[in-house]
Amino acid sequence: MAQNGGIIGPVNVTSRGKNKITTTTCTGSTTITTQPGTRLVAYVAVAGGGGGGPAGCISGGGGAGGLRTCASFSVGGATPYPITVGGGGAANTSGSNSIFSTITSNGGGKGGYTSPCASVYTGTAGGSGGGSAAQTSGSPASAIAGGAGNTPPTSPSQGNPGGAGQHVPGSWTAGGGGGGASVAGSAASQPTPGNIGAGGAGFIFAIFKTKEHKELAKKRYRSKNINFTIDKNGSQIINK
């Protein structure tokens, strides 16, 4: 089963400069109520990832759930905001949407599939698209592009497309990888004996309560040679 989505944040900043980080990862709907002095929050909203194709079939991988983030989102104090955490999709099922306030991250698309199943070659569009299976008819058979990512479109983009499936008649067939938050899924390549496309990479996000926490995280990232940038208002670190 694909991973559930989640809502990280909001970071409730009161008039006295105190912060609270709220994390919700259980599927379902609820509300988050801001503190009385809160006017701006930072959030990370991740939708549920898509499942691959049916068991026993040559399939593409499921796409990652859409990822949306904002470091400065306007809210009212002491106000409840609706949230929904989208569940990950089972085999042959797209992921579910996650919602914070007016923001929706779309579930990842499911992977395409072919023999021995009745073929649905193309991966489904979603926050990130599902990888496609390969068209096994014809000589040579055509590669099938993966499902579209960032669907419906958001700015910045919430995800990337899935990879293409490939087939060489009489030799091999493999599915493409699901798209990720950072890059597209990879296309299948010459297998030895079988090499499906890799899933697209994700992002690292960090939201901090204090400057000390941020500095500690920067030191740890540097020690592990992880590239990162600091959000323009200094509240988040995002890997490149």
**Is pLDDT of 92 > 70?**
yes
CA atoms of 14 and 64, how far apart (whole Å): 34
- For residue 13, the model assigns a pLDDT of 45
- Whole-model pTM: value is 0.81
Confidence of residue 210 (pLDDT cuts 50, 70, 90): low
Residue type, 22: T
Domain ranges of the chain: 204-240
**Is pLDDT of 235 > 60?**
no
- For residue 109, the model assigns a pLDDT of 97
CA atoms of 140 and 155, how far apart (whole Å): 39
Residue type, 186: S
Confidence of residue 121 (pLDDT cuts 50, 70, 90): confident
Measured from the Cβ of residue 125, the count of other Cβ atoms closer than 10 Å reads: 25
Token reading at 229: 């940038």
